[in-house]
């Protein structure tokens, strides 16, 4: 099958140069007369234009057809994964008032590594060591952050710490994760057909996964009622699992999981739900795209249960902004917060000792 740049270029000729430019991470088309790209973490306008709205819409419809999906009046939204893993989302009029809107998030050919995150200044060696220990101790981890903050990339990096000896089941709406372990089994959801039949959801796949002897569950993203199924799985012995969720902070991440769980349609008292969340989630790794375009792991936090019905979340290691340079770049550093992880002794017993000095308040 053709590579995704050639494949997309057939339909999106006006943006071919950006599809072929590895430095461009996203292409955002807001109708035929406005195209933006993300370059080095920052959005910038381009001179690219489509001949007309019908031409742009036809391009989006052709992409949908080539991945076995529909984009029309009955199905005005498209979520598609291209042959190389790049993601395309499109919305057509009348939902999109400016004309057909398309977002293309390009797939990175090289898998991001923890060494690269350290090199980019997204985390320090000490922070990476902390995350490594959290994963190897089979703590359940959620990677949180805003859109385009790098959650999926960080989840990929976290998954690299999983030992080769473990069986990993990966569940996604559209396959993006690139786990390298030999014993990895990947599942992908399926949209309903034109007769509104045949849909397979993340909830369905979690149900199957729990009967396929997983050592680890890796869920691409929590968006809805599948959150409750995941919580129940994590509370019944499937330790060491991980997922991502849209959230503004480590604490907000837990509230978002609550909200998504309520979408399951199962009537459960809030107090019981909070107890499940607090018991299931051990750690949160929060990501952010900062004002200078850089992406960082801004906090590694531990969930310590409930107190008076409220979540107790302690940042163990975080990024502190100290100032802004003349060029707009952020000056900051990673420091401890004064809180030591509750699993220090456990890590030591497993021959994975952590330097307690890293947790001293900076």
Q: Could you read off the pLDDT of 308-355 as tens digits, one per residue?
A: 999 999 999 999 998 888 877 888 899 999 999 999 999 999 999 999
pLDDT band at 188 (very low <50, low <70, confident <90, very high): confident
* Same domain, yes or no: 84 and 121: no
* Same domain, yes or no: 215 and 83: no
* Same domain, yes or no: 100 and 118: no
Instruction: Encode burial over 108-140: b for 16+ CB neighbours within 10 A, e otherwise.
Output: eeeebebeebeeeebbbebbbbbbbbbbebbbb
Domain span at residue 22? 4-105
Q: Indicate if the pLDDT at residue 102 is higher than 90.
A: yes
Choice between 11 and 252, residue whose per-residue pLDDT is larger: 252
- Taking each helix axis from N to C end, the angle separating 226-234 and 270-280, rounded to the nearest 10 degrees, works out to 60
Question: End of a domain among 87, 105, 123?
Answer: 105
Q: Indicate if the pLDDT at residue 193 is higher than 90.
A: no
Q: Indicate if the pLDDT at residue 299 is higher than 90.
A: yes
| Residue 85 main-chain phi, psi, to 5 deg | 100, -10
Query: Cis link prior to 307 (omega < 30° from 0)?
Result: no
Q: Indicate if the pLDDT at residue 2 is higher than 50.
A: no
Q: Indicate if the pLDDT at residue 148 is higher than 70.
A: yes
E-only strand ranges, the chain? 24-30, 35-39, 42-45, 77-81, 87-91, 101-105, 141-145, 168-172, 184-188, 216-219, 242-246, 283-289, 295-307, 310-324, 330-336
Mean pLDDT of 228-246: 91
* Same domain, yes or no: 137 and 230: yes
E-only strand ranges, 56-178? 77-81, 87-91, 101-105, 141-145, 168-172
* Same domain, yes or no: 318 and 355: yes
- Report DSSP state, residue 361: B
* Token couple for 293: 């375009």
Considering its fold, how many domains does the chain have in total?
A: 2
* Same domain, yes or no: 128 and 59: no
* Same domain, yes or no: 52 and 140: no
Of 190, 205, 198, 152, nearest in space to 67 by CA: 190
Helices (H), 183-304: 202-209, 226-234, 250-262, 270-280
| Residue 215 neighbours by CB distance under 10 Å | 17
Q: Indicate if the pLDDT at residue 46 is higher than 80.
A: yes
Choice between 96 and 87, residue whose per-residue pLDDT is larger: 96
* Same domain, yes or no: 189 and 315: yes
Question: End of a domain among 105, 124, 139?
Answer: 105
* Same domain, yes or no: 144 and 269: yes
Of 349, 361, 347, 362, nearest in space to 129 by CA: 347
* Token couple for 285: 């790794």
Give every CB contact of residue 362 below 8 A, 6+ residues apart in sequence: 320, 333, 334, 335, 336, 337
What pLDDT sits at residue 109? 66
């Amino acid at each position: 099958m053709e590579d995704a740049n050639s494949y997309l270029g057939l339909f999106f000729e006006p943006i071919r140069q950006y599809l072929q430019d590895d430095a461009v991470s996203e292409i955002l088309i807001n109708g035929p007369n406005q195209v933006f790209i993300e370059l080095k973490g920052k959005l910038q306008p381009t001179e690219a234009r489509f001949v007309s709205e019908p031409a742009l819409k036809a391009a989006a419809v052709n992409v949908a057809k080539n991945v076995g999906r529909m984009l029309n009046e009955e199905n005005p939204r498209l979520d598609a994964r291209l042959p190389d893993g790049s993601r395309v989302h499109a919305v057509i009029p009348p939902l999109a008032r400016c004309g057909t809107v398309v977002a293309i998030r390009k797939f990175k050919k090289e898998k991001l590594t923890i060494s690269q995150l350290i090199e980019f200044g997204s985390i320090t060696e000490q922070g990476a060591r902390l995350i490594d220990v959290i994963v190897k101790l089979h703590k359940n981890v959620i990677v949180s952050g805003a859109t385009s903050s790098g959650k999926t990339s960080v989840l990929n990096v976290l998954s690299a710490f999983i030992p080769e000896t473990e069986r990993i089941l990966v569940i996604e709406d559209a396959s993006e994760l690139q786990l390298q372990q030999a014993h990895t089994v990947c599942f992908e959801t399926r949209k309903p057909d034109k007769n509104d039949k045949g849909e397979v959801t993340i909830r369905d796949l979690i149900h199957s996964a729990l009967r396929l002897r997983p050592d680890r569950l890796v869920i691409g993203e929590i968006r809805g009622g599948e959150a409750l199924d995941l919580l129940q799985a994590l509370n019944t012995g499937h330790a060491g699992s991980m997922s991502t969720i849209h959230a503004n902070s480590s604490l907000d991440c837990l509230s978002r999981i609550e909200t998504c769980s309520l979408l399951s349609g199962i009537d459960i008292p809030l107090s019981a739900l909070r107890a499940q969340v607090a018991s299931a989630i051990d750690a949160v790794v929060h990501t952010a795209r900062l004002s200078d375009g850089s992406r960082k792991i801004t906090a590694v936090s531990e969930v310590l249960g409930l107190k008076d019905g409220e979540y107790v979340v302690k940042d163990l290691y975080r990024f502190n902004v100290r100032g802004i340079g003349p060029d707009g770049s952020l000056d900051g550093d990673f420091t401890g917060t004064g809180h030591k992880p509750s699993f220090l002794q456990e890590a030591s017993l497993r021959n994975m000792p952590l330097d307690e000095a890293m947790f001293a308040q900076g």
